[in-house]
């Protein structure tokens, strides 16, 4: 919901080969091309702590939790922080997601206070197939069959039981996650309520859906609410840019104006769509992480916000295309790239690489696979009424599945997977207790989550003016009051779940 969950690769991520994945992932401050925007979804790295971090540990996991005849195992990585633990106390489990897990979280974020308040152990489990948790020799299609949210939840259950046995962690467990791991946190409580007393589900998409045009709708609203008129100028700039894609003279202008790495070919529809995905992605990435206490990424880009890009677009100087190009230049600078690689074929080729040593193994190939088989969540421009003139159709992403993984990965397979996901977990109609669903009003992912009418004995917190996973980051003095109150409210809920579980276990 990029952008990898626990340590989404940031500015050093090589954009020319990963454009397609970042809409898949939520990778950096902004997106450059499809890879940087593909599934923009995820929790970014926390501040670097001065405290020494716990050492990584490994446990043996089953390759397939649901086939008794499958006996193969693999090693999964995790961390434990005992600093605040009091004997007999609870355990807080942060769930890893669609990228390498970052142990910096063991000494950072709002859950640190919850651990101090409750005398809790802090645990972080890396998601199978991400980071260094490699269940199979490579990422070939036949080996990705064990990559699913269902298997990941079973990993969590096996991990919980093993930690209880090894460390006598028999107090109540509470799970926490942001973005896709926020979904897993809610689903863990849904599927394994005997193992986890409650869950904090932050910025979590819960309804699987192929055509996620609502993402762009929220982006539009956030831009126009912050700087009225901003969206109209962007649309006009896109319209004029689209006009230039129709003739060869325009192609040359586009290459120069938008600093493309290679020549523009308006007859190559995949490249054209990829190009527009990059231009829109520049705004989507800024909106998703607007004012999210970016100090953890270094002060260099702390002040790049919705106001920054919209003030560029609404400046009376320059044409619409010049202003859109200026935003693109800023995005390239933030990403450390010299030019914009808009080539669809190069990105597909990158994501076809199934080696653990490849750039795609940073999370792009794996998360793309999960979207093609379980979730969808493709951020198209297919808003009813076609206000963006069909520049990013959902069919583009659906075709990508078969181009990367082979002809079996069709639209039918995707729809079947989405149907099974919603059947398995219940979408936004899930019936689960002791889960708090936390969302920010300008985070586009809230459109696929539960923001009101929570299930019985669960609750929602909707924070006006905040972006993706804002409540999980360290508190800042200038945080909005609603955000500060949300962190306190979450802490009270965590305490109540732990108290309730202790009372049941020790009446």
Catalytic residues: 179, 443, 468
d(CA 233, CA 381): 17
d(CA 323, CA 308): 12
Please spell the DSSP secondary structure of 381-440, one letter per residue. ---TT-TTTTSS-HHHHHHHHHHHH-TT--HHHHHHHHHHHHHHH-GGG---SSEEEEEE
CB of 10 closer than 8 Å to CB of 28: yes
| Strand bridging mode 435-440 / 459-463 | parallel
| Strand bridging mode 91-95 / 198-202 | unpaired
Indicate the SS3 state at residue 302.
coil
d(CA 273, CA 276): 5
CB of 235 closer than 8 Å to CB of 314: no
Name, in order, each residue with C-beta under 8 angstroms of 246's C-beta and a sequence gap of 6 or more: 266
Residue owning tokens 């996650």: 177
| Helix, strand, coil in percent for the chain, rounding step 5 | 45, 10, 40
d(CA 123, CA 125): 7
Token reading at 322: 């010049």
Nearest to 97 by CA among 36, 180, 158, 35: 180
In this structure, what DSSP letter does residue 444 have?
Answer: G
Name, in order, each residue with C-beta under 8 angstroms of 364's C-beta and a sequence gap of 6 or more: 18, 20, 21, 22, 24, 25, 35, 38, 350, 351
Ramachandran category for residue 406: left, alpha or beta (phi over 0 → left; psi -120 to 50 → alpha)? left
**C-alpha torsion sign, points 367, 346, 334, 107:** positive
| Strand bridging mode 91-95 / 121-125 | parallel
Query: What values do phi and psi take at 414, rounded to 5?
Result: -60, -50
Ramachandran category for residue 427: left, alpha or beta (phi over 0 → left; psi -120 to 50 → alpha)? left
Q: How big is the chain, counted in residues?
A: 507
Alpha-carbon distances, residue 458 vs 183, 190, 310, 469 (angstroms) = 14, 11, 38, 19
């Amino acid at each position: 919901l990029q952008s990898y969950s626990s340590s989404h690769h940031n500015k050093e991520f090589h954009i020319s080969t990963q454009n397609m994945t970042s809409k898949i992932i939520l990778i950096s401050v902004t997106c450059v091309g499809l890879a940087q925007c593909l599934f923009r979804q995820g929790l970014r790295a926390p501040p670097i702590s001065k405290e020494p971090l716990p050492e990584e540990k490994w446990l043996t996991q089953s390759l397939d939790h649901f086939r008794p005849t499958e006996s193969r195992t693999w090693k999964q990585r995790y961390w434990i922080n005992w600093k605040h633990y009091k004997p007999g106390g609870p355990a807080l489990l942060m769930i890893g997601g669609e990228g390498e897990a970052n142990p910096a979280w063991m000494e950072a974020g709002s859950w640190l206070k919850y651990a101090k308040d409750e005398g809790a152990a802090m645990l972080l489990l890396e998601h199978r197939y991400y980071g260094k948790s490699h269940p199979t020799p490579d990422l070939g299609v036949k080996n990705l069959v064990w990559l699913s949210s269902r298997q990941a939840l079973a990993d969590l259950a096996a991990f919980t039981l093993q930690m209880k046995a090894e460390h006598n962690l028999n107090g109540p467990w509470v799970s926490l996650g942001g973005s896709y791991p926020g979904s897993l946190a809610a689903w863990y409580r849904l599927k394994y309520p005997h193992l986890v007393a409650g869950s904090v589900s932050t910025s979590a998409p819960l309804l699987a859906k192929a055509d996620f045009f609502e993402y762009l709708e929220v982006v539009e609203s956030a831009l126009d609410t912050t700087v009225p008129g901003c969206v109209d100028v962007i649309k006009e700039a896109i319209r004029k840019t689209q006009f230039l894609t129709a003739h060869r003279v325009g192609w040359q202008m586009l290459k120069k104006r938008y600093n493309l790495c290679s020549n523009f070919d308006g007859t190559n529809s995949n490249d054209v769509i990829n190009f527009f995905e990059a231009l829109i992605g520049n705004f989507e990435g800024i909106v998703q992480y607007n004012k999210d206490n970016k100090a953890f990424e270094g002060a260099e880009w702390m002040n790049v916000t919705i106001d920054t890009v919209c003030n560029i677009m609404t400046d009376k100087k320059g044409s619409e295309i010049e202003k859109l190009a200026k935003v693109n230049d800023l995005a390239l600078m933030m990403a450390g790239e010299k030019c914009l690689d808009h080539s669809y074929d190069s990105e597909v080729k990158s994501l076809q690489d199934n080696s653990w040593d490849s750039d795609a193994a940073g999370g792009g190939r794996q998360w793309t696979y999960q979207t093609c088989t379980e979730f969808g969540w493709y951020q198209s421009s297919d808003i009813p009424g076609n206000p963006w003139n069909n520049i990013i159709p959902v069919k583009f992403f659906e075709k990508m599945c078969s181009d990367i993984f082979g002809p079996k990965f069709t639209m039918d397979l995707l729809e079947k997977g989405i149907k099974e996901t919603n059947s398995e977990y219940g979408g936004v109609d899930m019936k689960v207790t002791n889960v708090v669903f936390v969302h920010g009003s300008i985070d586009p992912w809230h459109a696929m989550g539960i923001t009101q009418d929570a299930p019985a004995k669960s609750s929602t917190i909707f924070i006006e003016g905040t972006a993706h996973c804002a409540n999980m980051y360290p508190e800042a003095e200038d945080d909005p009051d609603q955000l500060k109150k949300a962190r306190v409210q979450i802490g009270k809920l965590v305490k109540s779940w732990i108290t309730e579980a202790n009372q049941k276990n020790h009446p």
